Amino acid sequence: MQVLTFEPAPESEKREAEGPQGFPAAGTVRDGSLVGISPVDERDLPSIAVSSVEAVRSTVRRARAAQPVWASLPLSERTRRLRKAAGNMLRDRATALRLIREETGKSEAEALFSEALGPLDQVNGWAAVVQRAMRPERVSLNPLAFPCKRATVEPIPRGVIGAVAPWNFPLATFFRCVFPALLTGNAIVVKPSEYTPRVANWFVSHLQDELALEVLDAVHGKGEVGRALIDAGIDACTFTGSVASGREVIAHCARLMIPVNVELGGKDSAIILADCDLDRTIAGVTHWALSNAGQSCGAIELALVDERIADRFVSRMADAWKRLKAGPTHAAVYDVAPLAHLRQLDAVEEQVRDALARGATLVCGGRRTRAGLGYEPTLLSNCDESMAVVREETFGPVLPVVRVSGIDEALRITNNSRYGLTASIWTSDTRRAERIAERLEVGTVTINNHALTGAIPSLPWSGTRDSGYGVANSRYALSTYLRPRTVLVDQASIPDPYWMPFDDVLSQLGEVLADLQVARLSGLPKLPWLLYQRIARTRRFYGM
């Protein structure tokens, strides 16, 4: 049996644990606790105890015991409690902003707009999605084939959901799993990233104060705790993370017959056409390439620019990026956050080195900041598909620019990527862009903007290829949290005509039904139900 670790390769783990120039490592375990080091100022953060395997099992058992009572509450009551908790989160947002900055390095202004402002809007958005999805569906049955019968499909909660979450949006990542899980009547146990456990505890505690039932809790640790959560008897799993770990999670859940929803990496293209509004395009691409230091699966990681405007685009982009303030700084506000941990900074630097060695031009950036784990906004020109920075996910404040001869080349590069999460098209001709969108093999296409659908509960966020087959947001995501239960009611006063015994009369009835279907294909009137019933009554039902 393959061992599920969710861990980095040993070489990466060793490099991270040691750290260059004395910089200590976050996310490692020491004396049974997670070591916390802020990427802002290298300060030690309060330690968090690692959950034992038995503690994980016990947490899932408590959640399972509480779930039926929670599911029995009306949706309106579940929504009321979540809204109250979300309101309390908004009132206590200063604490959330401080914790997000301490654990990820994100500035308080950026964390406010990307995470801390969201809980109440997300609860309301999800409540609307769930209210529609939870309605029982009356299914129309063919009265000839299924006489005196009616059927209803009821969505019911799966039970206990396990959520293995990433570090890049340590608060907002829970909006897309915890809120729909609870609103649909499930219990949920979350395993946050080992880099961001304190933000998770803040979120969980605010909800626990209002839920009044043990239907939500967190367990902490590295990959082995995620594996223990899946093994603890959960009914479905949601995972957001790397492609390598996602494959392990999928395989492990498959062996246990657990439904799993996976959202993995991305290498999002911005296709920039010659007729774009260059001012707005520069601003938009800058924002979506550098938000959260590019540490987002939906970040713009590749600019495919029409060669007719490529020089102007690069020049204007460089001017804009050189004016940005890269963190961390002592001030609470800066434009570009530091990398969240050392392993990610090493990976970004390696991709930039590879690109320069293969002929890319460094337009601006390309250096670490003086403090913490910051890296300057880095623009690379003259890039091509031989470079890892063009092919592989970067997850950093780096944007390679590839000059393309036209839309066909841009489509080829985007669709040939191993990833297929989102893409954006920047142009003044939106009708043309909509036609281009039909040819993009990605989960979401945004025109003259990028990736904002990830924060809209009513719109699906999904991908293709190595971006995973999972869906976040919208009714399409609810199959992780709901399963259908069919209830069929038979109101007939006599046995169905096809029941035993298998005699000649039954065979004749079958022949009549077959001829009827052929007649309907020819446009002839339907056989009256009374005739069907008369034929059925000619049967002898022994002992009935």
- Reply yes or no on whether 383 is catalytic: no
Check if 263 is active-site. yes
* Three-state secondary structure of 108-140: HHHHHHHHHCCHHHHHHHHHHHHHHHCCCEEEC
Strands 187-191 and 419-420: unpaired
Residue corresponding to tokens 């893409």: 423
Catalytic residue among 224, 263, 376, 393: 263
Other Cβ atoms less than 10 A from the Cβ of 143: the count is 12
Cβ pair 282, 272 in contact under 8 A? no
CA dihedral 277→283→285→287, nearest 10 degrees, is -160
SS3 state at 157: strand
Contacts of 115 (CB under 8 A, 6+ apart): 96, 100, 169, 170, 171, 172
The helix/strand/coil state of 395 is coil
Q: Is the dihedral of CA 389, 392, 398, 402 positive or negative?
A: positive
376: alpha, beta or left? (left if phi > 0; alpha if psi -120 to 50)? beta
**Tokens, residue 397:** 């404040």
User: Using N-to-C axis directions, what is the helix angle for 53-72 and 223-231, rounded to 10°?
Assistant: 50
CA angle 387, 389, 393 (to 5 degrees): 130
The angle subtended at Cα 284 by Cα 404 and Cα 412, nearest 5°, is: 25
Spot the catalytic one: 177, 253, 276, 297. Answer: 297
Number of continuous H segments (helices) and E segments (strands) in the chain: 19, 22
Strand, helix or coil at 141? coil
Give the E-state strand segments of 406-537 in sequence order.
419-420, 422-426, 444-447, 461-462, 464-465, 471-472, 482-490
- Give, as one character, the DSSP assignment of residue 446: E
Q: How many CA atoms lie within 13 A of 418 on its CB side?
A: 10
The end-to-end CA distance of the chain, in Å, is 54
Q: How many residues does the chain have?
A: 544
434: left (phi over 0), alpha (psi -120 to 50) or beta: alpha
Give the catalytic positions in this structure.
263, 297
